[in-house]
Amino acid sequence: MKVKEILKLALMFLNREDLLIYSPFGEQTTIPTLENTEIEHLKKCFNLVYNEIATAYIPLIKTEQVVFIDGVLAYNKLSKTITEIRKLYANGKNIPYSLEEDGIHANVLCAQLTYSYAPEELSFEDEVFMFGGKIQDRVLAYGIAMEFCLITGLYDDAEVWETRFYSGLKEAYSKKSEIRLPSRRWI
């Protein structure tokens, strides 16, 4: 699903279908200043909500092979923007490390690093990773509607969308796989 499709849903929730005629949603490429500002605000709202979900609720996790130079792995050598280290291991063993201003320090040459990361800012045509199917598009749209209402000063409406957004997040965050007990057999 693309960012613009989630934004369309948020616009419908906000009763702002009038913006759907403009690019990137519709055919009209000449966009008045006010409408253009609102569309850009929507994109910022999407990125705020997406980042909040990824950093506070359902982390994005990456594992990569890393090389330490003089016992230091600079943060900018990682492919993503790290938020938390999950595991550093080499030869099947956990490696002790410390976080310093200049990078991750460890007494190892090569290792595998598993870490959480912040998502990159997405634009209208980008595909959205839906957190392994845990988050539905409507939950993202609720969050976008909440942020948009806060930006535009509609605080009562923002409260309604906030309730729906965090309720949907709670449902997604607390979902666990079903536990099935085998049927009891009598001998």
pLDDT tens for 42-91 read: 999 999 999 999 998 889 999 999 999 999 999 999 999 999 999 999 99
pLDDT tops 80 at residue 184: no
Handedness of CA 36, 42, 44, 47 (dihedral sign): negative
Domain co-membership, 109 together with 146: no
| Residue 184 located in a structural domain | no
pTM: 0.82
Tens-digit pLDDT profile for residues 149-179: 999 999 999 999 999 999 999 887 775 544 4
| Residue 185 located in a structural domain | no
Domain count, the chain: 2
| Residue 26 located in a structural domain | yes
Domain co-membership, 77 together with 44: no
| Residue 179 located in a structural domain | no
Percentage above 90 pLDDT, the chain: 73
C-alpha distances in Å from residue 81, one per residue of 60, 69, 123: 11, 19, 18
Domain co-membership, 73 together with 110: yes
| Residue 186 located in a structural domain | no
| Residue 110 located in a structural domain | yes
Whole domain around residue 108: which residue ranges? 66-118
